[in-house]
Structure 1
Amino acid sequence: MSEILFETIDQISRKITKRELSPVELTKWTIGRIEQFQPALNAFITVSEEQALEQAKDLEAEVQKGYIRSPLHGVPIAVKDMVQTKDILTTGGSKILKDWVPDEDAVTVRHLKEAGAIIIGKTNLHEFAMGATTENPHYGPARNPWNLKYTPGGSSGGSAVATAAGMAFGAVGTDTAGSIRLPAAMCGTVGIKPTYDLVSREGSLPFSWSLDHIGPMTRTIKDLAIMLDAMIGRKETSFTQAESFKKLEDLKNIKLGFYEPYMYSGIDSDVKSVIERAFKQFEILGAEIIPVDLPGIDKALEGLRTIAQSEVVAYHEPFLEKYSDQYGDDLQYRFRYGRGVSATDYIRAQRIRKRFIQSTMDQLKGVDALIGPTNVQIPFEIGTMVPEQAISNMFVLGKTPLANILGFPALTVACGFTKEHLPVGLQIIGKPFADRRILEIADCYERSESWTAALKKNQNYVQFNLS
């Protein structure tokens, strides 16, 4: 049974379509897996067992009539508890919303349901998505399935853990400075932050209106494409159809830009070795990795902090008037920082951002995408972070904030393991609305390596690690 829970969405879809596998049976097995490993991993805040089984029965009846909505028909998917779900508790990882049961789905959840996905539960996260570790003071920390003493990254940590540990076939995450890509990389999975506004944010609790993105997290790039299609609202698409993207046999004529001063700053030597090996594989596949410049990057990234912390205070101000003492300590620190941002500071940061986007577009002429590490450090040990550090953790752990200030599509693909057997992710950042292009590039690399089989192949290792 555990073997099938590590199959890809594509493989599961074929079995359901051929009636070799029942959505109800698959949902029950997934719930059983959650019950087995939730105590150790704490990936979920809410498991929607009753609703999921009702969905599964309806979808199974459709299968019996020969109706398949999409490759996600009957497939259990998890949703970050930042994204509202009809009739299912949505907390934002906070005690302030501990009793909130929305009466409608977020747009992206509605699209997933229309595609036939089964919502298996709501995943744990850093409180209100404001941190890189998923150490939640109200619902407990999510734990990295490769080593329980480490965090899974954040803020979509529970989504990454559920996907990596066979508790869901994919998950919805949100990403303001790397909250999809960083935990995906640190848990050995894949994830994409789509181009800004490609996936609707309606119905998701905001961190920063200017920087927030919603995207999928899965175990393979192929599955990532399937979920992204559904979340956008494309109907009856699959990986092999023209509306998704084409399968590249090699990367000849692909030019990948690399800005070493940023991408390698603060990098762990072990992580760097993994990344350099991945670079060599890209070159073997025919890609050319060329140096580029990113003038103004330091000011732009500082502007990201200004924009994010100003906007988050604006959103939470009504809650702070009534419930200020119910927020975690690290959020209290963020709010104090955000209140110090003036309107002049905010406008200046947005102007700097606009100039940086244009200059980066100029640098990318003749270049297909940017390449570099997703995480430059291994995860922190649980309990080692103090509140004052939380605001900087995303910048310390990874190179993900760059794509958020740009608003460009960015994904992470598994590229190896450190000597401590902790996953490392490689990041590809594309041009605006070139989401399919970076998926094509990542898929070609992924198929040339064995890293994507690691979660399934090493499930005995993971299972031993959790025992």
Structure 2
Amino acid sequence: MNNQNIKKIEEKNGENNAFISVSSKIALEEAKNAEKEILSGNYRGPLHGIPLALKDNISVKSLFCTNGSIIDKNNMAHNDAFLVKQLRHEGAIIVGKTNLDEYANHVIGMNRHYGIIKNPINNNHTAGGSSGGSAVSVALNLSYGAIGTDTSGSVRIPAACCGIVGLKPTYNLIPTEGVTPLSWSLDHVGILAKDCNDVSILLRSLLVGSKETSTNLDPPMDISQLTIGVPENYFFEMVDEMVEKKIREVINIFISQGARVKYINIPNVEQALMAQEDIIGAEGAFLHKFQLEDHKGKYEEGNYEYFKHGLTITRSKYEESLIIRQRLNRDFQQIFNSVDILLTPTLPITAPKLTAEKVTWGNYEEDILTALSRFTGPFNVTGLPALSVPLGIDMDGLPIGLQIVGNMYSENKIVSVGKWIMDQMR
């Protein structure tokens, strides 16, 4: 971490708007201190002296936490979030706070106050959201890794759009204390990095009481012993031809290595998005209701109406969504009695253009929010761990993402499988 790193961040940020704020002076001072500690033999582990970026809805003491909103532009954090304390203990350096959709409530990075987050591969396309700034910081090598949040796919969506790795761990595995909530029962802290080894290092550093200091994943598993679940319904419906082709290639690689592939049907999974929309709507509205009218003209376009509408969601409708979640949890637990992991596309398409409100491919047309969260949202509703890894690119050079889903607390398994897949696809 040096002046050249800071200069690169400032230069690239003018193009892609990855950061809302850069902690240049503090980061350089912390880098010098880390160097002294390491040279004196006080090495804290693989994150010691490593620059990380944090989504700007995560509290870092004495830094502004804007939540991507002009309403909170002067919102100074008085304490570190739980995850920040963990990272500081490991000696990591917080290089800056990354851009996001306002209050983490969208998936395309169209922030009119802090700049539109642009895809690092093609600036005319979205980087995804709401953790788009975090993903771009990693994709452009402005940070070693980044932390985001994921309520309906907000880590995995930008990971897929930017061609990097994104992990949403099991619900509440990483505490959200000190993270501005959008929906307290669906919010997850997530990790973005270039490869699965880096994701593994960051995950282990964030876990409470973890003493793991290894820089490598667990030894490779015997792929021939795995049972791979491939959903025949929902996840392969309305999918771009090139995306499906890449996913099928991976499935065939598993078969060639002796893994068992089981084609399954997931009951009522289409209800997940309806339940998710009502849960986020009701919980988000509750969190914003006391400031809606005072700041009506300051909210991003659409957010005011979204939270206002959330106030009309009835208690019975909210409770119905919670019942749907319980049923889905039971169904998925039944599925994981017979499979080790699930494979799905992360997104049905590659990164859409920034100007798109609807997206079209083949004979399909869909609202952009629905299209980008359709395959990720069910695993926020169920709280299951899910990983997005890049598989290659489409005809326009835009990345394609594969989603690997495991049973509760099977992060090591899905990240190890993710690494194996990435190795096979090179």
- Using structure 1 for the length normalisation, give the TM-score: 0.86
Shift of 1:394: 4.5
Between structures 1 and 2, the one with greater helix share: 1
Q: Does 1:123 align with 2:95?
A: no
Shift of 1:102: 0.6
1 CA distance for matches of 2:289 and 2:74? 20
Q: Name the residue aligned to 1:345.
A: 317
Residue identity in the other structure for 1:295: P
Q: Structure 2 vs 1, CA of residues 227 and 234 (structure 1 numbering), >3 Å: closer, same or farther? A: farther
Q: Name the residue aligned to 1:280.
A: 252
Q: Does 1:304 align with 2:280?
A: no
Q: Structure 2 vs 1, CA of residues 385 and 70 (structure 1 numbering), >3 Å: closer, same or farther? A: same
Q: Does 1:108 align with 2:108?
A: no
Q: Does 1:417 align with 2:393?
A: yes
Indicate if the aligned counterparts of 2:118 and 2:126 stay in contact, CA closer than 8 A.
yes
Indicate if the aligned counterparts of 1:48 and 1:120 stay in contact, CA closer than 8 A.
yes
Equivalent in 233, 243, 249 of residue 271 of structure 1: 243
Indicate if the aligned counterparts of 1:79 and 1:119 stay in contact, CA closer than 8 A.
yes
Q: Does the residue aligned with 2:74 lie in a helix, a strand or coil?
A: coil
Q: Does the residue aligned with 2:65 lie in a helix, a strand or coil?
A: coil
Q: Name the residue aligned to 1:64.
A: 39
2 CA distance for matches of 1:42 and 1:327? 19
Alignment length (residue pairs): 420
Q: Name the residue aligned to 1:159.
A: 134
Residue identity in the other structure for 2:16: L
Alignment of 1:203-242 (within 5 A): 203-239=178-214
2 CA distance for matches of 1:391 and 1:227? 34
Q: Structure 2 vs 1, CA of residues 122 and 326 (structure 1 numbering), >3 Å: closer, same or farther? A: same
Q: Does the residue aligned with 1:140 lie in a helix, a strand or coil?
A: coil
Q: Name the residue aligned to 2:295.
A: 323
Q: Name the residue aligned to 1:49.
A: 24
Q: Does the residue aligned with 2:395 lie in a helix, a strand or coil?
A: coil
CA shift digits 1:225-255 (9 cap, x unpaired): 10011122445523467xxx52216411111
Residue identity in the other structure for 1:445: I
Q: Name the residue aligned to 1:463.
A: none
Equivalent in 191, 195, 200 of residue 175 of structure 2: 200
1 CA distance for matches of 2:301 and 2:310? 14
Indicate if the aligned counterparts of 1:192 and 1:224 stay in contact, CA closer than 8 A.
yes
Residue identity in the other structure for 2:152: A
Indicate if the aligned counterparts of 2:169 and 2:384 stay in contact, CA closer than 8 A.
yes
Equivalent in 328, 352, 355 of residue 383 of structure 1: 355
Residue identity in the other structure for 1:48: S
Shift of 1:292: 1.3
1 CA distance for matches of 2:173 and 2:210? 15
CA shift digits 1:291-315 (9 cap, x unpaired): 1121121223211111111100001
Q: Name the residue aligned to 2:377.
A: 401
Structure 1: give runs of 5+ residues left out of the alignment. Answer: 1-25, 451-467
Q: Name the residue aligned to 1:368.
A: 340
Q: Name the residue aligned to 1:77.
A: 52
Indicate if the aligned counterparts of 1:82 and 1:92 stay in contact, CA closer than 8 A.
yes
Indicate if the aligned counterparts of 1:90 and 1:98 stay in contact, CA closer than 8 A.
yes
2 CA distance for matches of 1:129 and 1:251? 37
Q: Does the residue aligned with 2:400 lie in a helix, a strand or coil?
A: strand
Indicate if the aligned counterparts of 1:60 and 1:74 stay in contact, CA closer than 8 A.
yes
Q: Does the residue aligned with 2:53 lie in a helix, a strand or coil?
A: strand
Residue identity in the other structure for 1:424: I
Indicate if the aligned counterparts of 1:70 and 1:237 stay in contact, CA closer than 8 A.
no
Indicate if the aligned counterparts of 2:138 and 2:146 stay in contact, CA closer than 8 A.
yes
- Using structure 2 for the length normalisation, give the TM-score: 0.94
Equivalent in 106, 111, 114 of residue 139 of structure 1: 114
2 CA distance for matches of 1:449 and 1:250? 18
1 CA distance for matches of 2:51 and 2:94? 6
Q: Structure 2 vs 1, CA of residues 390 and 56 (structure 1 numbering), >3 Å: closer, same or farther? A: farther
Structure 2: give runs of 5+ residues left out of the alignment. Answer: 359-364
Shift of 1:105: 0.8
Indicate if the aligned counterparts of 1:313 and 1:338 stay in contact, CA closer than 8 A.
yes
Moved more, 229-238 or 356-365: 229-238
Identity %: 35
Q: Name the residue aligned to 1:293.
A: 265
Shift of 1:43: 0.5
Indicate if the aligned counterparts of 2:104 and 2:130 stay in contact, CA closer than 8 A.
yes
Q: Does 1:150 align with 2:122?
A: no
Q: Does the residue aligned with 1:282 lie in a helix, a strand or coil?
A: helix
Residue identity in the other structure for 1:432: M
Indicate if the aligned counterparts of 1:80 and 1:122 stay in contact, CA closer than 8 A.
yes
Residue identity in the other structure for 2:249: R
Equivalent in 409, 422, 425 of residue 446 of structure 1: 422
